[in-house]
Structure 1
Amino acid sequence: MNTSQSAVEDILPLSPLQEGMLFHSGYDQDSRHLYIAQFSVDVRGALEPARLREAAETLLRRHANLRVSLTHRKNGDPVQVVRRDMPLAWQESDLGHLGEQEAQARAEELTAQDWELGVDSRRPPLVRFTLLRLGPERHRLLVTAHHILLDGWSFALLFKELFTLYGTGELPPVRPYRAYLNHLAARDRTAAETAWRTTLDGLGQPTHLARGARFRPAAPPRTSPSG
């Protein structure tokens, strides 16, 4: 690891699910689309972009697992390094000078471009925000992240906290992510492996590829609901 020690807040292990995602992300070094989660929210009414950006910055300071870079120790073990100085990846585009239909079409183009940019697990930050102004009181907030940080359930929490911070700015103290990792470490892993081995025994047969077939990792379908 070559991260400056002054910028490091903590060094955490990965959860088993995160380890699997990191392994598959590194399997195809050219893929930036293997584990991407992309969600958008349409906002109607007056919006203060600077205030929303400040709320996003507060969100990053609040949650250590949103400020991680992924690397390996000298012995090969994967770890996530929590950085104090992780920059907020934030972009704004003003499409308000366009007509409504043209602004909507351009917003779809920018959303697709953001998806094509992908998220490289080797190059943090692993979450980014894009605010599109579609009109005087119409905005779209696009959030794209590596699935190793967020899933659909936690994305809902992210948006809830983000707009709470934008509004009242008050949230209860967050439980450290390390507490969850400590919970996982305290479990009887051998017993869990035995239980799953017994449960899955005999359920499936190995998959055989046709002669001469070439395997390529498949990217998951894009998810981008509007709220």
Structure 2
Amino acid sequence: MTVRERDARPLPPAQEAILFESRQASESRTGALTCNVQTVLEIIGFVDIAALQRAVDAVVRADPLVLSGFGYDAEGRPISFQPREATLRLRTVNLRELSSADRAVAAQRLEEHERSEEFPLGAPPLIRLLLIRIADRERRLVVTSHRILLDSWSHGEFVSALIDEFCSGLPRLGIRIRTLSKHDARPFPLDRPDRVLPARAA
């Protein structure tokens, strides 16, 4: 995956190692199992989807590096880059027409699919956001990322920043948000919190 971008940057050793490992894992068809990190949140109450997307946009503006992609330059050197056309969009699925039991099964399958789907590292964003509507006032927000972009710690900071930004613009409508599940990729020895996302977007 050769990349030609004017704003390409060399990778620090930790990300370079993850890039190499990700390529090997992809070739062995275990890429998503070793590289994806996921958090599933339950949101009870009224959810303004447009407001949630605005919160996503605000977090991205606060730290544009979350739209980074990764690959190799023409000389074969590992790099990160930010394509100007990359955007992070919230996707939605409505399961309300299913029976209660079928909704739970369908939601779990969607979460597993998000977790098992590989990210093309050269085609960011390397974050997926899926909002699943379970009932009129019940939704699940599935946040999945690749650990070359966000390690387990940074992934948690991203989720916190997103929820803080979303809730900051809401009136007191009694929204309740809790974590349903977390799935971390296999820990990588060099992972460390190099990057810090603000708790609140500016």
TM range (shorter): 0.7 to 0.9
Alignment TM-score, normalising by the size of structure 1: 0.66
AA of the residue aligned to 1:85: E
Q: Measure the CA separation in 2 of the matches of 1:123 and 1:86.
A: 8
Q: Measure the CA separation in 2 of the matches of 1:104 and 1:57.
A: 29
Pick aligned residue for 1:18 from 15, 18, 39: 15
Q: Which moved more, 1:113-122 or 1:140-149?
A: 113-122
Partner SS, residue 75 of structure 1:
coil
State the partner residue of 2:91. 91
Which runs of 4 or more aligned residues in structure 1 lie more than 3 Å from their structure 2 counterparts after TM superposition?
28-32
Cα distance, 1:28 vs structure 2: 4.1
Going from structure 1 to structure 2, the CA distance change for 1:19 and 1:117 (only over 3 Å counts) comes to same
State the partner residue of 1:205. none
Q: Measure the CA separation in 2 of the matches of 1:83 and 1:62.
A: 17
Q: In the TM superposition, what are the counterparts of 1:56-95 in structure 2 within 5 Å?
A: 56-95=56-95
Partner SS, residue 38 of structure 2:
strand
Check conservation: 1:71, 1:79, Cα contact below 8 A: yes
Identity of aligned residues (%): 25
Q: Measure the CA separation in 2 of the matches of 1:132 and 1:167.
A: 18
Q: In the TM superposition, what are the counterparts of 1:105-120 in structure 2 within 5 Å?
A: 105-120=105-120
Q: Measure the CA separation in 2 of the matches of 1:12 and 1:130.
A: 30
Check conservation: 1:129, 1:144, Cα contact below 8 A: yes
Instruction: Note the residue ranges of structure 1 that are not aligned, 5 or more in a row.
Output: 170-221
State the partner residue of 1:2. 4
Cα distance, 1:89 vs structure 2: 4.0
Q: Measure the CA separation in 2 of the matches of 1:29 and 1:150.
A: 18
AA of the residue aligned to 1:94: N
Instruction: Note the residue ranges of structure 2 that are not aligned, 5 or more in a row.
Output: 170-181, 185-202
Check conservation: 2:131, 2:142, Cα contact below 8 A: yes
Check conservation: 2:69, 2:122, Cα contact below 8 A: yes
Q: Which has more radius of gyration? A: 1
Cα distance, 1:70 vs structure 2: 1.1
Partner SS, residue 83 of structure 1:
coil
Q: Measure the CA separation in 1 of the matches of 2:151 and 2:142.
A: 15
Check conservation: 2:4, 2:73, Cα contact below 8 A: no
Q: Measure the CA separation in 1 of the matches of 2:51 and 2:65.
A: 23
Cα distance, 1:19 vs structure 2: 0.6
Check conservation: 1:12, 1:82, Cα contact below 8 A: no
Partner SS, residue 58 of structure 2:
helix
Q: Measure the CA separation in 2 of the matches of 1:70 and 1:162.
A: 23
Aligned pair count?
Answer: 167
State the partner residue of 2:37. 37
Check conservation: 2:36, 2:144, Cα contact below 8 A: yes
State the partner residue of 1:189. none
Q: Measure the CA separation in 2 of the matches of 1:17 and 1:146.
A: 14
Q: In the TM superposition, what are the counterparts of 1:122-201 in structure 2 within 5 Å?
A: 122-168=122-168
Alignment TM-score, normalising by the size of structure 2: 0.74
Q: Measure the CA separation in 2 of the matches of 1:47 and 1:40.
A: 16
Cα distance, 1:161 vs structure 2: 1.1
Q: Measure the CA separation in 2 of the matches of 1:159 and 1:115.
A: 16
CA RMSD of aligned residues (A): 2.0
